[in-house]
Amino acid sequence: MASDLLRSVRELLKRYGKPEREVYLDSENSGLVLEEALEEMLQVYREAIGHPSITNRPGWEAYEALYRASERIARAIGAEVEELAYTHSGTEANNLAILGLAKACGVSRRKIVVSAIEHLSVIFPAEELAKAGYKLIKVPVDEEGFVKLDELATAVDRETLLVSIGLVNHEIGTIQDLKALVEVVKDRDEDIIFHTDAADALGKVRLDVEELNVDMATFSSHKVYGPKGAGALYVRDGVKLEPILRGQLSAQRLWPGVENVPAIAGFGKAVEVLTSRLDEYVSHMQRLRDMLIDGIMDNIRWVLLNGPHGGRRAPGNVNVSFLYCEGEALTVELSMHGVYVSSGSACTSRALEASHVLLAIGRGYEEAHGSILMKVTPMHTREDVEYVLEQLPRAVERIRSLVPIRGG
């Protein structure tokens, strides 16, 4: 099977050459890496080859590179260097936060509260704890994806171990009023641990863990246009956490195995670049985002915007549903013309389920199946967006022309 797949992919690569123009808007799944981050990585690969916890000169160099990254990330989020734990992805960091806390805290508190629109790397570990006897509550959101304060207030109590709510939603870009959510929880009981998946927030909004008053926060390198293969968990000094993997510890306590030092170095550099130019990048992304949304709404019929408008939406996030147009087919059609996007359709998921985020904001199945997610980055240009707007109407029209039922 694997070799069939490989044959197919090689044949496809041979048959379909590189499109003349390519616009990569699928940074939800993978993506562009900042030049500065690449350079930093190359330098570490070449010059800091050691193991960061072994005491020889190459090891000291690796240790220094690791801590240079930590200083950059800590500074950007308002934390101390010692409060960062590295993993190899945001998924791992979310797992560490949830499962590691449950492991450390025993059976004294048996309730976990998450929002209905969390990333699956939050939802799945929480569901695993539910199977082990924890009570799991998924707090509903409104039609724009904002967590309802009163529902959250009712959900938390003195039995609650953990609340996990993402600062910026990865699919529909909702920027939560997290400070208010934390306040509601801490008012109820200040010993409840508050974790936020901030992978989609870093580099998109101003962020300070002290000001937000969160206990843990997840970050992911590829979401800040750093390399894949690095994630971080901020763990406030004093929060008890147990490692969830076993093995030889290296320079840190919570994730055994040797750190991916070059990737972490690239991660740190990307964070530094993004935060130092935050205002400039945010307004650039907002401009392109709104140009893309307006262009779609003005030129294509039967479209819904998923998520909020304007300042309460992540600056790069565009998520729209094209009715009577199956999303997966649209992603394939667009990819033939060099426009790379993803979809919340059941067809693109390996489990064949429609996006739980879109269903949670009240979208129907048909609307979820026709959804397309595009993320513009600081590296995109007006010309990129113009090209996408040129390709989209024709692609949507073609997929709609195949459908047995016509809209309108």
Partner 1 sequence: MGSVSSRIPLPYSPKVIELFRNPKNLGRIEGADAEATAGSLACGDMIAIYLKVNKKNEKIINAKFESYGCAANIAAANILTEMIKGMTLRKAWQISWRQISDELGGLPAVKYHCGILAVGALRRAIRAYYKEREKPSWLPSSLTPEERQTLEEEKMMELLAKRLRRLSAEPGR
How far lies 98's CA from each of 82, 109, 209, 362, in Å? 20, 13, 18, 27
Closer to partner 1 by Cβ: residue 167 or 368: 368
Are the beta carbons of 268 and 228 closer than 8 angstroms?
Answer: no
Using the 8-state DSSP alphabet, how is residue 304 labeled? E
Q: Where are the alpha helices (DSSP H) in 132-222?
A: 149-155, 178-188, 209-212
Q: Does 2 bind partner 1 (CB under 8 A)?
A: no
Closer to partner 1 by Cβ: residue 294 or 353: 353
Q: Which of 347, 379, 386, 390 binds partner 1 (CB under 8 A)?
A: 347
String marking each residue 161-180 x if it binds partner 1 according to CB under 8 A: ---------xx---------
Say which residues have a Cβ less than 8 Å from residue 171's Cβ, sequence separation at least 6: 28, 117, 306, 307, 319, 344, 355, 357, 358, 373
Q: Does 344 bind partner 1 (CB under 8 A)?
A: yes
Active site residue 325: no
Q: Does 140 bind partner 1 (CB under 8 A)?
A: yes
Closer to partner 1 by Cβ: residue 331 or 391: 331
Are the beta carbons of 51 and 59 closer than 8 angstroms?
Answer: yes
Q: How far is the CB of 309 from partner 1 (least distance, A)?
A: 21
Q: Does 404 bind partner 1 (CB under 8 A)?
A: yes
Q: How far is the CB of 342 from partner 1 (least distance, A)?
A: 5
Q: Which of 160, 220, 342, 377 binds partner 1 (CB under 8 A)?
A: 342
Q: Does 324 bind partner 1 (CB under 8 A)?
A: yes
Closer to partner 1 by Cβ: residue 178 or 357: 357
**374 backbone φψ class: left, alpha, beta (φ>0; ψ -120 to 50):** beta
Q: Does 349 bind partner 1 (CB under 8 A)?
A: yes
Q: How far is the CB of 295 from partner 1 (least distance, A)?
A: 23
Element (H, E) at 217: strand 216-220
Q: At what angle do helices 57-77 and 35-47 cross, to 10 degrees?
A: 160
Closer to partner 1 by Cβ: residue 1 or 107: 1
**Three-state secondary structure string covering 336-365:** CCCEECEECCHHHCCCCCCCHHHHHCCCCH
Q: Does 16 bind partner 1 (CB under 8 A)?
A: yes
Total site size for partner 1, rule CB under 8 A: 60
Which residues within the stretch 374-403 sit at the binding site for partner 1 (CB under 8 A)? 402-403
Polymer length in residues for the chain: 408
Q: Which of 348, 399, 321 is nearest to 28 (CA)?
A: 348
String marking each residue 273-302 x if it binds partner 1 according to CB under 8 A: ------------------------------
Question: How are beta strands 339-340 and 23-24 bridged, if at all?
Answer: parallel
Q: How far is the CB of 96 from partner 1 (least distance, A)?
A: 17
String marking each residue 88-127 x if it binds partner 1 according to CB under 8 A: ---x---------------------------xxx-x---x
Name residue 242's amino acid.
Answer: E
Q: Which of 304, 305, 332, 379 binds partner 1 (CB under 8 A)?
A: 332
Separation between Cα atoms, residue 362 and residue 172, nearest integer Å: 13
Are the beta carbons of 336 and 320 closer than 8 angstroms?
Answer: no
Are the beta carbons of 243 and 254 closer than 8 angstroms?
Answer: yes
Exactly one of 205, 347, 359, 379 is catalytic; name it: 347
Q: Which residues are catalytic?
A: 347
Give me the residues that bind partner 1 (CB under 8 A), please: 4-5, 8-9, 11-12, 15-16, 28-29, 91, 119-121, 123, 127, 140, 142, 148, 150-151, 170-171, 324, 326, 328-329, 331-333, 335-336, 342-357, 359, 362, 364-366, 368-369, 373, 402-405
